[in-house]
Structure formats: structure tokens, C-alpha cells
């Protein structure tokens, strides 16, 4: 459902606002491919001047044995886990990139529209 898109956007935008560089811009690019019925989302935010990219990347990645099963039920520090949970359990959602480099956090995901065909 489209609640998946809302959840993913909320996580990304909330984390950019909470942890990103103050008074900076959030870049977003949203495209829709009519043929494949896929909506693509790309969101880029600046990191704080004092942040270290490798530290951010370690928080953005999860290990294969990390618990993401309850990510949708827990609110505290579960944002990134929610993205991985959606990627694993929603057949229409794909997390393509979540990475920090060049002083920015890049997140991209897509959602395939469910059709009755």
C-alpha cells in the first residue's frame, strides 16, 4: 500500500531533519516510469560539519543478523531498520541505496505500483 511510501519518506526526512546539517536544503527527485509502473525516490541531505562519514555509514548499514522483525512496531531508534524491514517484507518496495559520501546522505528507493492486470 501507499503507507509504505509514507513510512519510508517519513523515516528519511525525519532523520535528515534530526541528524543532518541545520539550515541546509534537502534535495529530492521523484520520478514515475509508466511502463514499469515504478515510482523512484531519491533524497539527499547534508551532514553536519562535525560528522564523520564512516560513523554515519556504520549507523546506516545493518548487519545480516540484526533484528529488523519488530522495526515497524518500535519507535525509538528504529528508522533505518524500518527501511530494511520494508525492503525485506514488502514485495513492491526496494531500498536501492542508503549511504553517506561527499558530505551528504544519499537514500534511494522505489515502489512498484500494484496493478490488477
The residue ranking higher by pLDDT, 104 or 63, is 104
Whether 54 contacts 101, CB under 8 Å = no
- Give percent of the chain above pLDDT 90: 69
18-56 pLDDT per residue, tens: 999 999 999 999 999 999 999 999 999 999 999 999 999
User: What span, in angstroms and rounded, lies between the C-alpha atoms of 42 and 89?
Assistant: 21
3-class SS at 15?
helix
pLDDT of 83 > 60? The answer is yes
3-class SS at 24?
coil
User: What span, in angstroms and rounded, lies between the C-alpha atoms of 100 and 46?
Assistant: 9
User: Among 39-43, 51-55, 58-62, 105-109, whose mean pLDDT is lowest?
Assistant: 58-62
Q: State how beta strands 93-101 and 38-46 pair.
A: unpaired
Q: What is the CA radius of gyration of the chain?
A: 15
Q: What is the mean pLDDT of the chain?
A: 87
Amino acid at each position: 500500500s501507499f503507507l509504505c511510501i509514507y513510512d519510508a519518506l517519513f523515516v528519511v526526512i525525519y532523520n535528515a531533519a534530526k541528524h543532518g546539517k541545520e539550515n541546509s536544503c534537502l534535495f529530492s527527485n521523484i520520478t514515475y516510469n509508466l511502463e514499469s509502473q515504478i515510482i523512484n525516490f531519491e533524497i539527499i541531505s547534508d551532514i553536519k560539519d562535525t560528522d564523520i562519514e564512516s560513523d554515519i555509514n556504520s549507523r546506516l548499514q545493518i548487519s545480516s543478523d540484526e533484528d529488523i522483525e519488530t522495526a515497524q512496531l518500535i519507535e525509538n531508534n528504529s528508522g533505518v531498520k524500518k527501511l530494511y524491514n520494508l525492503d525485506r517484507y514488502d514485495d513492491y518496495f526496494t531500498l536501492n541505496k542508503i549511504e553517506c559520501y561527499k558530505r551528504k546522505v544519499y537514500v534511494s528507493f522505489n515502489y512498484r505500483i500494484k496493478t490488477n492486470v
